[in-house]
């Protein structure tokens, strides 16, 4: 009985608002308009070097996964963009352990206020980190940990002036920006990432320039997407440039199938990441660790693509006398 009373109370409220709308001298015509918020993304899963002839030592496997997800707001002269990207590659060759070839996470927030058709002022934040534990040799069982989630986390932010055109080419300059390197995981040596021993954070004041293209069509079925960020510290060794770059060249075979070339390149003179290399000596091959200021990952693979583009609809009440 109590539940029935609750239902009657709810319906009475609904009926009150319905009758109120009907008795108003203004009639309501409902129509759908496009919301300023849009969501779009791409998921690519693929690989290369798939081979297995019945013997475990001849087994080769390389799996690659790429995720791009963008939430955008565009109304009048104001644009906001939240961008998330992940690049991950796992490989196994014969009886070797699984190796992580590529592991990058990127989040970007952009606020742009149009000055004219192709120019804008704004603010940008970039966050670069890793999603899994990284080791010197790349092997998942290696104990020499050089990175982990949020270790390092490299954050760059700044007030910007930018240019973009209809072809997807964009250039952004920040005369005043900050760069922050965070290494929170205690198993990761902070000196690998330019921090003093015992410190877990480093802050820099400088300037940056980003240049890139988004889905630039080079040929009929060939597109290029790339972003390159150059940063220099005002307060220490101004002129020394740190570079963060990611690019994807895609040959579209069908709507769902493509051949992709992905390259990740990072350089910072303060970084001294321990990378395992094979040193061939008289007594055979020996694994040694050398400091590297460059990180380069390069893959060509066949992938299956899933694309989506969601435009949110909302109802607008038009009042007609």
| Contact between residue 174 and residue 208 where contact means Cβ atoms under 8 Å apart | yes
pLDDT tens digit string along 50-80? 555 455 555 677 889 999 999 999 999 999 9
pTM for the model: 0.79
Q: Which 8-state DSSP code applies to residue 57?
A: G
Classify domain 31-320 at the CATH topology level. Outer membrane phospholipase (ompla); Chain C (2.40.230)
| Contact between residue 110 and residue 98 where contact means Cβ atoms under 8 Å apart | no
- What are the start-end ranges of the H helices in the chain? 2-23
CA atoms of 107 and 155, how far apart (whole Å): 9
> What Rg do the C-alpha atoms of the chain give, in angstroms?
26
Q: If DSSP codes are grouped into helix, strand and coil, which group holds residue 10?
A: helix
Stretches where the chain sits below pLDDT 50 are 1-31, 53, 278-288, 313-321
- The pLDDT value recorded for residue 138 is 81
pLDDT tens digit string along 31-52? 455 688 999 998 999 887 655 5
């Amino acid at each position: 009985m109590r539940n029935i009373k609750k239902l009657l109370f709810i319906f009475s409220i609904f009926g009150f608002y319905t009758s109120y709308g009907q008795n108003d001298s203004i009639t309501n015509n409902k129509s759908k308009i496009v919301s300023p918020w849009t969501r779009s993304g791409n998921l690519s899963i693929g690989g290369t070097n798939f081979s297995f002839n019945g013997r475990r030592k001849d087994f080769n496997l390389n799996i690659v996964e790429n995720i791009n997800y963008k939430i955008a707001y565009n109304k009048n002269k104001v644009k906001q963009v939240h961008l998330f990207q992940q690049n991950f590659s796992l490989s196994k060759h014969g009886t070797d352990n699984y190796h992580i070839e590529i592991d990058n996470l990127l989040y970007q927030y952009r606020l742009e206020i149009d000055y004219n058709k192709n120019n804008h002022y704004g603010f940008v934040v970039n966050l670069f980190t890793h999603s899994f534990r990284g080791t010197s040799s790349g092997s998942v069982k290696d104990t020499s940990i050089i990175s982990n989630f949020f270790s390092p986390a490299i954050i760059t932010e700044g007030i910007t002036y930018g240019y973009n055109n209809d072809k997807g080419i964009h250039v952004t300059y920040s005369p005043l920006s900050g760069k922050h390197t965070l290494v929170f995981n205690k198993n990761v040596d902070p000196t690998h990432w330019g921090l003093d021993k015992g410190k877990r954070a480093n802050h820099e004041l400088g300037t940056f320039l980003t240049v890139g293209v988004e889905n630039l069509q080079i040929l009929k079925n060939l597109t290029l997407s790339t972003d390159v960020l150059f940063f220099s510290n005002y307060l220490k060794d101004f002129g020394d440039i740190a570079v963060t770059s990611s690019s994807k060249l895609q040959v579209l075979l069908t709507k769902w199938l493509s051949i992709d070339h992905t390259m990740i390149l990072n350089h910072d003179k303060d970084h001294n990441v321990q990378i395992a290399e094979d040193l061939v000596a008289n007594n055979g091959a020996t694994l040694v660790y050398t400091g590297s200021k460059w990180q380069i990952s390069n893959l060509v693979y066949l992938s299956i693509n899933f694309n989506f583009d969601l435009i949110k609809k909302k109802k607008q009440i038009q009042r007609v006398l």
